[in-house]
Amino acid sequence: MQQPVSQDDEAASQVNPEAAGLIAHTLEQTVAEGRLSLMEHELLPFFERLGCPLPSYQVLGREPDEQAAIRPNLLGRPGVLKVISPQILHKTDVGGVTFVDEVQPASVASHAAAMLAGLPEALASSVRGFLLEERIPYQPGPGRELLLGIRCSSEFGAVLTLGFGGTYVEALDAALLTGQSTVVIHPSLTPTPVARQKLERSLFFRWISGSIRGVEPLTTPEQLHLDLGRWMNALLQLVRAVEAAGQRVEECEINPLVWAGGWIPVDALARLGPPLPPRRSFAADNLRRALHPKSVAIVGVSTRMNIGRVILRSLLDAGFPADRIFVIRPDGAEIDGRPSVVDLAHLPEPVDLLVLAVAATSVPAILEEVLQTGAARSVLLVSGGMGETEGGKSIQQRIFDLLETSDRSQRPVLIGNNSLGLVSLADRVDTLFIPKEKLPRIRTGLHNVALVSQSGAFMITRISKLVHLSPAYQVSVGNQLDARLSDFVEILREDPNIQTFAVYIEGLRPGDGVRLGQTIAQLVGEGRDVIVYKAGRSSLGQTATAGHTASVAGDYRLFAELMADSGAMVAEDFWEFLHLLQLSASLAGKELSGRRVAMMSNAGFETVGMADNYSGADYHLEPARFQDSTRRRLAEILVQAKIDHLVTLANPLDLTPMANDEVHASCIDAIMQDPGVDIGLFCNVPLTPSIQSLPPGLLPRDSYDSEHGYARRVIELFHRSDKPMVFVLDAGRHYEPMFHYLGQHGLPVFRSADQAIRIVGRYLEARLGHRQR
C-alpha cells in the first residue's frame, strides 16, 4: 500500500527523469518569456508521465484550421474548452471556459471564436490557443470535490494542503475545527503515522470513506490513502523538478480534484518564484563558545551607570572570573576593579564572547576591526535600529556585506541584534543588561530548562515569574541577523541535562522552520520536551511583531500544525506557556505511562471542577478506576480518621475539610500505589483548620513546614514515587509561603484545580499522543 508522504517515502524523494526533463524544457520557455506560472496545459503532461489519472486532453491552436485535427478519444463526446493565456490564470472569472456538448471540429471552432469575441481586446490578443478536455461527469458536493495544493513557504519549504474542494471550501474551513475541512502535511516534519491519523480524523476523509452515518462511501479508506498519496507525491515531484531546473514553486493548486470512479483534476495552476538565497553560515563551534565562554570583552562600558556597565556588573555578580573579563576603553580607565584595554588589537587573546553595548551606528566599524584582528569568536549585538541608512546603505546591509566578504571558518558569529543578552548558569555567564535590583537572579531550584526567546522582554518577564526554577540557559535571540533561533536550539540540544526547551518565536528566517522542526523531533525522540509560543497570529499581531523584531510572522496555523507534528507542545497563550514549562521541568524523570488520572481534594467545588475538565477539545484524560485493594485501604484510612461517614469513595475523591495532613498524605500514598493510576492530581484548600498551612508563628501548632504537616509529607511522597503527581493550593496571600515551599522543593503546584487539569491534559496529550503516533 502506498503511504501518504513522509520523511521515509522514497518515492516522494526521487523525481521521474522523463517528467523532470519535460518540466525543465517548459521552464526554459517560461524564463524566456519572463513568466512566473505554469499553466494547466503545461502541468498535465508532467502528471501524465507520473501515471496520475487525467481527463483526455489536447492542446489546440488559436486559429480554426489549427482546431480541425481532434483526437479520436475526444470526438463525439462532451468536452470542456479553455483558453490558454499567460495573462488569464483564473479562466472562469473572465469567461475563458465553456462546455461543448459534442466535440466536433466545427463546434470547437465555434465555441473558440465565441470565447475570443467575449473577452476584452487586451486579453483576447494574449490568447495563444485552447485546451480541449473531456468533460468529467461528476456530482458536485462535499466529499466529491477535493482541494489539493502545495505551497513552498520560505520558512518550511514544501507543505501539502488537502481538503474539501469546490466553491464552498472557504466557508467550510471557517466553520469547522482545525484539521476537519483541510489537513496540512509536511514531507519531512509530518511522520507517516501522523499524516495517516490527520487524514483519517478529518471530516472530508470520513465523508469519502463512508465513516459518517448516512453517507455512502465512494471508496475504501486504504484505497483513499493510496489515491491521495499518489497525488501528494506527484506535487512533491513537481516541486523538486522545478528546483532542479533552478526555479521554485511558490504554490501549485488542483481545485477541484473530482471523484469520477477515481480522483481526476479539473483545473491546475502553479506559480513560480526565484530560488531562496543560500543561508549564511558560520562555524558552529563559535556559537558554542558564546554559550560557554572562557573569556568576555565588553565595548561600551561607562564610568557612569549605563547598559555596558550593568552587563559588566551582571558578569561579576554571576561569578565569572574577573581576570577573564576585558573592558575596551580608549582611556584605559579602571571600571569596577577591572583595568581597561585601549582597543581590540591590544587584547591578550581572541575572546570567546564580545559584547557590543554601543549605538547601532558604531557597530559596522567595530565589526570590521573584529574581522581584521580576529579579536572575537562571537559578538553579541545589544543595540536595535539597524535599519538606519548611511551612505545609501542600511547598517544591517553594511554588516551583511562585511560577513559576505569574510572567511566563514574565521569570522565570528553574530548574536542579535536587539538582544537583551544571554545567561549560562553553569558557566557563570550573565550578560543581561537588567540590574539585579530589577530582576533578582534566582539560582536555586530546578535548572533543567533552556529558555530561548526572540523577545528579550518576554524572556525576562517569564524569568521573573519562575520563582521555583532558574533556567540553565536564557538566550535573547533578537533579530537573528546571523545566528538564528534554530541554531541555538541545535547547540543547546548537546547538553543532556536540559529536559525542557521553552521557545518564544515572533518570526522565522528562510529554512528555519524545517530546521527547528527537525531538531524538535530529535529532542522529543530523546524523551525531552519542547514548548513553543508563536506570536503574530492575527494581521494586527503580525504587524506588531514586524515592528518589534523586523521578522515576518508567517501563517500561524501552518506553524502550529507543523510544530505539533514534530512533537512540540504549542502553547495557546502566555499563561499556558509558563505552566507547561513548569510542569515539564518538575516532572522530569517521572514515568509517563498513560492518561488514567486520580483526582482528590478537600473541597467539593474542586472535585466538580476537575470532573468537568478532565476531557477537552484537544486532550482526553481517563478517570482511573481504583482497584479493590486500593478502595479497602482508603476505607481504612477514612475509618481511622472517623470521617468515613462523610466521604464517598469515588474518583474524584472529596475528602471534605475534615481530613487532616495525615489523611491527605495516606490517601495520596494509597492512590499512587494503585497499578491503575498513571498520574495523580491532588488539591488542597488550606484554609481548613485540619491542615497545617500557615507561616510559623501565626497560630500554635499550625506551621506549613511542620515535620508532620501536609507540605513535608507530600514532598517526600512526590520524590519517592516514579509516577507523576501534580498539586493545587487554591488560596490567597496568607498561603503564599506554603505555595512557594512546595515549588522550591520541585513539586509542580498550581493555584486552580480546573486550570491544573487542563494543563495536565495538554501535557499528556502532547507527550503520549506523539509517542503513540
Cell 584595554 locates to 341
| The dihedral sign for the CA sequence 707, 713, 719, 720 | positive
Section 64-72 average pLDDT: 93
Query: In sequence order, what DSSP letters do the residues of 248-272 get, joined into one string?
Result: EEEEEEEEEEEESSSEEES-EEEEE
**C-beta of residue 81 within 8 angstroms of C-beta of residue 98:** yes
Per-residue confidence (pLDDT) for residue 540, from 0 to 100: 53
Other C-beta atoms closer than 10 Å to the C-beta of 25 total 11
For residue 605, pLDDT beyond 70: yes
The tens digit of pLDDT for each residue in 661-702 reads 999 999 999 999 999 999 999 999 999 999 999 999 888 889
In whole angstroms, give the CA distance from residue 58 to residue 62: 13
Using CA atoms, how far residue 718 sits from 288, 435, 587, in Å, is: 36, 36, 10
Per-residue confidence (pLDDT) for residue 387, from 0 to 100: 79
Section 290-309 average pLDDT: 97
Per-residue confidence (pLDDT) for residue 773, from 0 to 100: 61
Section 290-305 average pLDDT: 97
552 falls in which pLDDT band (50, 70, 90)?
very low
In whole angstroms, give the CA distance from residue 519 to residue 499: 14
For residue 551, pLDDT beyond 50: no
Return phi, psi of residue 732, to 5°. -90, -155
- The arrangement of strands across the sheet holding 569-570 comes to 429-430, 422-424, 473-476, 449-453, 500-505, 529-534, 569-570
Burial 699-727 (b: 16+ CB within 10 A, else e): eeebbbebeebbbbbbbebbeebebbbbb
**C-beta of residue 201 within 8 angstroms of C-beta of residue 181:** no
Per-residue confidence (pLDDT) for residue 176, from 0 to 100: 78
Per-residue confidence (pLDDT) for residue 562, from 0 to 100: 96
Per-residue confidence (pLDDT) for residue 400, from 0 to 100: 93
Using CA atoms, how far residue 423 sits from 63, 173, 586, in Å, is: 73, 44, 21
- Rg of the Cα atoms in the chain: 32
**Residue 72, preceding peptide bond in cis (omega within 30° of 0):** no
Section 607-613 average pLDDT: 96
Q: For residue 589, give the C-alpha cell.
A: 524523570
Q: For residue 342, give the C-alpha cell.
A: 585601549
For residue 86, pLDDT beyond 70: yes
Other C-beta atoms closer than 10 Å to the C-beta of 669 total 17
The tens digit of pLDDT for each residue in 326-341 reads 999 999 999 998 889 9
Torsion of CA 493, 495, 501, 505, to 10 degrees: -50
For residue 500, what are the contacts with CB-CB under 8 A and spacing of at least 6?
448, 449, 450, 528, 529, 530, 531, 581, 584, 585, 588
Per-residue confidence (pLDDT) for residue 173, from 0 to 100: 77
13 falls in which pLDDT band (50, 70, 90)?
low
Using CA atoms, how far residue 607 sits from 257, 682, 730, in Å, is: 51, 10, 13
The tens digit of pLDDT for each residue in 246-257 reads 999 999 999 899
Task: Say what percent of the chain tops pLDDT 90.
Answer: 85
Using CA atoms, how far residue 111 sits from 90, 98, 300, in Å, is: 18, 7, 76
Q: For residue 299, give the C-alpha cell.
A: 565595548
**C-beta of residue 235 within 8 angstroms of C-beta of residue 263:** no
The tens digit of pLDDT for each residue in 156-177 reads 999 999 999 877 777 777 777 7
2 falls in which pLDDT band (50, 70, 90)?
very low
Per-residue confidence (pLDDT) for residue 538, from 0 to 100: 64
Other C-beta atoms closer than 10 Å to the C-beta of 65 total 9
Strand spans (E) along 621-770: 622-623, 653-654, 679-684, 725-729, 749-750
Section 353-357 average pLDDT: 98
**Pairing state between β 57-61 and 129-134:** antiparallel
For residue 268, pLDDT beyond 60: yes
Per-residue confidence (pLDDT) for residue 11, from 0 to 100: 47
Per-residue confidence (pLDDT) for residue 550, from 0 to 100: 34
Per-residue confidence (pLDDT) for residue 10, from 0 to 100: 46
In whole angstroms, give the CA distance from residue 189 to residue 186: 5
For residue 1, pLDDT beyond 50: no
Q: Is 286 helix (H, G, I), strand (E, B) or coil?
A: helix
- How high does pLDDT run on average in the chain? 92
- Full-prediction pTM beyond 0.85? yes
In whole angstroms, give the CA distance from residue 182 to residue 164: 6
Q: Which residues make beta-bridge pairs with 182?
A: 163
In whole angstroms, give the CA distance from residue 522 to residue 516: 10
For residue 738, pLDDT beyond 60: yes
The tens digit of pLDDT for each residue in 517-548 reads 999 999 999 999 999 999 987 655 554 544 43
SS (H, E, C) 473-515: EEEECCCCCCCCHHHHHHHHCCCCCCCEEEEEECCCCCCHHHH
Section 628-642 average pLDDT: 98
The tens digit of pLDDT for each residue in 120-159 reads 999 999 999 999 999 999 888 889 999 999 999 999 999 9
For residue 771, pLDDT beyond 80: no
Q: Is 389 helix (H, G, I), strand (E, B) or coil?
A: strand
